[in-house]
A and B are shown apart, each in its own frame.
Chain A
Amino acid sequence: MTNSAPQPSSDSPATLLGPAWDLLDSLPRVTTPPSMTSTTLEMVAAATRPQPRPGSWWQGWLAPAAIVAVAFAMGMVAGRTTVTDPEKAVLEYLPVLEHYDVLKEAGSEEFLTQVARRDYPAPRRPAFGRGGERGGEIAMPAYEALDAAIAVFESTPFGPDEARTTDRRTDISDRPLEERRKLSDAATDFQRLSPAGRRDLVRLARVFGGRDGTGPHRDELLDAARLWHQWLATRDPADRKGVIDLDTAERLEWLDHYALMRPGSGRWPRFNDAPPVGPRRGPPPPGEIPGPPR
């Protein structure tokens, strides 16, 4: 168990401790189980086995951080592609937003095309709130807002262009507060439209500006827009917004109701009424949007 006991010298711990030295021999003998050697070797082997390199503390966070960063980047990309920035919309489509009300009222190229083809008559009564005789032919009043919009669409390109947006940023910042607020509201409304609705307005602005080489078709559409504006003007202003918000088919139905009323009869047309005088305004040609059921 222990080393062989040497003879105590005169100056050794044994002599110093005296009689207690011998009494320590009565302490119990200690034995170890035979398996302890193998247990010890296994413990040492396990404790000193090369562990997979744990890496520094930041490496443990690297993978989760990378995942978060990639997810963030993907979110940014997805957000930019699906949700347009209102400020960016203002900068890119400033002319559209400046004349948003005109375009919103006109609706879409499709609607104006239908109006032009159906050849609706001009209203026979003056605009709402204006005096004048009913039943007579009313000269088409000027639609200054549309003329102003056309002038802008003709002269000012719009759409994504970094150089132009930089200039427009400066332009907008120089405008009065009220005008900037109006632009901001228009941008908010523009953003609330469906993607198809936004495309329709931008397309219409291009057509009005003659940017798509529409030629005579453009003039037809402009006349249709003016006629539609004229019909809207006959309605109570409180009702106009609801009419403007109608989709193409509903607008056409609305127009059929009011524009096809028999002149001077003061009643809605009936199925057995004689056809109206003038060019036939019957059902649309095949393939076009049908009118409302009678």
Chain B
Amino acid sequence: MADSSAVMASGAVGDPSTALMLRVRDGDALAFEELVALWQERLVTLFRHHTGDHAIAEDLAQEVFLRVYRARATYRPTAKFTTWIHTIANNVSSDLRQRAYRRKERGVPHNVSASTSALGLEHLAVAASGLRPARQADRSELCDVVQDAIATLSDNQRMAVLLAKFEHCSYEEIAAAMGLTVPAVKSLLFRARDQLREKLGPYEREGSR
């Protein structure tokens, strides 16, 4: 009863994920399976574009579900489930980043994200020069260029952009998921826009034609 009122107060009414999560909390295994089926593609998509690696994305998505299941007893529907799971996803991503940083510190090569790799920058250079001619880039080329442009963003910028684009999160939801303020999120997105414009300028003009 208390949970129901909390759900109504938090505006999570009608959120199927929240209802599923409440059932998971009460020990409903079938509800967890439904939750996984409902969210796994969204999470893999988010991590795929964030890391640039599909296998890593699947691993990270599974890690998110594991954390969700382990924390099921402490789940309180004071906010939408989407915000809760986005927060977990952001934490998993941060942990991966820190592990990759530690590997780098120890001199172990990592293949987590192309954002800081020389390979990503080389690809971007090719895209920005050789492919710039006015010929119309086909869809796969555009896909590569956009991926490389996304990879040049900082991890926080990339996560904010991806949450906004693929999870349709508002500033407030992004801020809640990433533990930032709304102005900070706007600032992140503003700088991301400038960087993307710099890399994707020619394609923006072609796309707008």
Interface residues of A (CB under 8 A from B): 1-6, 11-14, 16-24, 26-28, 30-32, 36-37, 39-41, 43-44, 47-48
Residues in B lying within 8 Å of A, measured CB to CB: 32-33, 36-37, 40-42, 44-45, 48-49, 54, 57-58, 61-62, 65-66, 69-70, 139, 142-143, 146-147, 150, 160-161, 164-171, 174, 186, 189-190, 192-193, 196-197, 200, 203-204, 207-208
Give the chain B neighbours of A43 by CB distance below 8 A: 62, 66
Chain B residue with minimal CB distance to A28?
Answer: B143
A-B CB contact pairs (8 Å), 11 listed: A2-B42, A3-B168, A6-B168, A13-B164, A13-B169, A18-B193, A19-B197, A22-B207, A23-B204, A30-B49, A41-B32
Q: Are A27 and B193 in contact (CB under 8 A)?
A: no
A31 to B61, CA, bound (A): 13
How many A-B contacts if CB must be within 8 Å? 117
Judge whether A12 and B146 touch: CB under 8 Å.
Answer: no
Please tell me if the beta carbons of B197 and A20 are within 8 angstroms of each other in the complex: yes
Q: Which residues of A contact B167 (CB under 8 A)?
A: 2-3
Contact (A20, B193) CB under 8 Å given A2-B168, A13-B164, A36-B40? yes
Q: Which residues of A contact B170 (CB under 8 A)?
A: 12-13
A26 and B139 in contact (CB under 8 A), knowing A2-B167, A6-B168? Answer: yes
The answer to whether residues A1 and B42 also contact, given A23-B146, A41-B33, A43-B62 and a CB cut-off of 8 A, is: yes
* A contact residues around B33 at 8 Å (CB): 37, 41
Q: Is the CB of B168 within 8 A of A30?
A: no
Give min CB distance, A35 to chain B, whole Å: 11
Most buried by B among A20, A22, A36: A20
Question: Within the complex, which residue of A4, A20, A36, A39 is in contact with B200, where a contact is CB–CB below 8 Å?
Answer: A20
Known: A13-B174, A20-B192, A27-B143. 14 other contacts (CB 8 A): A12-B171, A13-B189, A17-B193, A18-B204, A19-B200, A20-B193, A23-B146, A23-B207, A27-B150, A32-B41, A37-B37, A40-B61, A40-B65, A43-B62
Q: Please report the C-alpha to C-alpha distance between residue A37 and residue B192 in the assembled complex, in whole angstroms.
A: 34
